[in-house]
Amino acid sequence: MGLTIYFDGQFVMEEEAKVSVFDHGLLYGDGIFEGIRAYHGRVFKLKEHIKRLYESAQTLQLKIDLSPEEMTEVVLETLRRNDLQDGYIRLVVTRGKGDLGLDPKKCPRTTVFCIAAGIRLYSEELYEKGMAVVTVPTRRNVAEALNPRIKSLNYLNNIFAKMEAHLSNSPEAIMLNNEGYVAEATADNIFIVKEGMLITPPIHVGILEGITRNTVMELAEKRGIPVLEKVFTRHDIFIADEVFLTGTASEVVPVVKVDGRTIANGEPGSMTKELTADYRELTKVDGPKINK
């Protein structure tokens, strides 16, 4: 039996959940989304994800007919309908059906759908031993062209970088901004550890303000770990004591080699392990319950 999908006010089987070929989300990537995780019968950081969705909609002038509270219930009910206590949720809002032109005014109503299913990006071995990544030629979008803080459906920038990672047989890629500073990975934020300090690129270098990123920073502060948002280069990565990536789907992933350089002793570091453990504990108690 297939999945049950929320689609524009109804719950339908996945075979019936179809967008128009004239939908501008399909034709032009004109839309937004959120990737959300459910753990242990709760939806982790759901309030923060919903907030970011509506912030993206505000910037793109997408009118969502549902209130944030109604959208929250859509997510919870989609999980219930699929009998999921743990899983990945993809919440999508497109500009909606229009014509073959670019004009968003030709799209009278947005399209909203929600998918809940399982996901596994990386093997357990990568979390235990760490991954090797590469820096790729494709630069992160500049904010003046397409602000990376908008979680839009236009992911070609990231996809180009992912393709280049695959050419190097790497599961993930580090992207620099137009000035050569480290920005983020294709679907994750990046952290380095140096002399007991946790460092991550600031928002202004051109990154998505990741919810997992912010959560890890909060967890670090609770441990008394100094957290600094500042620009850094590949050189700073190569000489770091630890490196790890964060994202909703990937969670916290240790990185042990970058561009052929082994990071420290080539094993996941103690701070990475501590913050990973804290993160996993938090997923047990944070967020609204799926079944009340």
DSSP character at residue 142 = P
Strands 242-247 and 189-194: antiparallel
The pLDDT of residue 1: 66
What residues does each domain of the chain span?
4-117, 124-282
pLDDT in tens, 73-83: 999 999 999 99
Fold of 4-117: D-amino Acid Aminotransferase; Chain A, domain 1 (3.30.470)
Task: Calculate mean pLDDT across residues 132-153.
Answer: 96
Strands 242-247 and 251-258: antiparallel
pLDDT in tens, 31-60: 999 999 999 999 999 999 999 999 999 999
Is 63:31 a contact under the CB 8 Å cutoff? no
- Is 151 an active-site residue? yes
Residue from 151, 222, 273, 292 carrying the catalytic annotation = 151
CA 54 to CA 93: how far, in whole Å? 10
Report residue 121's pLDDT band, with 50, 70 and 90 as the boundaries.
confident
User: 12: part of which helix (H) or strand (E)?
Assistant: strand 10-13
pLDDT in tens, 201-214: 999 999 999 999 99
pLDDT in tens, 223-254: 999 999 999 999 999 999 999 999 999 999 99
Phi, psi of 242, rounded to the nearest 5 degrees: -150, 155
The pLDDT of residue 292: 79
Q: Which of 97, 88, 96 is nearest to 43 (CA)?
A: 88
| Whether the predicted model's global pTM rises above the 0.85 cut | yes
**Which tokens go with 55?**
């912030």
Fold of 124-282: D-amino Acid Aminotransferase; Chain A, domain 2 (3.20.10)
- For residue 198, the cross-strand partners are 193, 227
CA 36 to CA 254: how far, in whole Å? 21
Report residue 120's pLDDT band, with 50, 70 and 90 as the boundaries.
confident
Task: Calculate mean pLDDT across residues 109-121.
Answer: 94
Mean pLDDT of the chain: 97
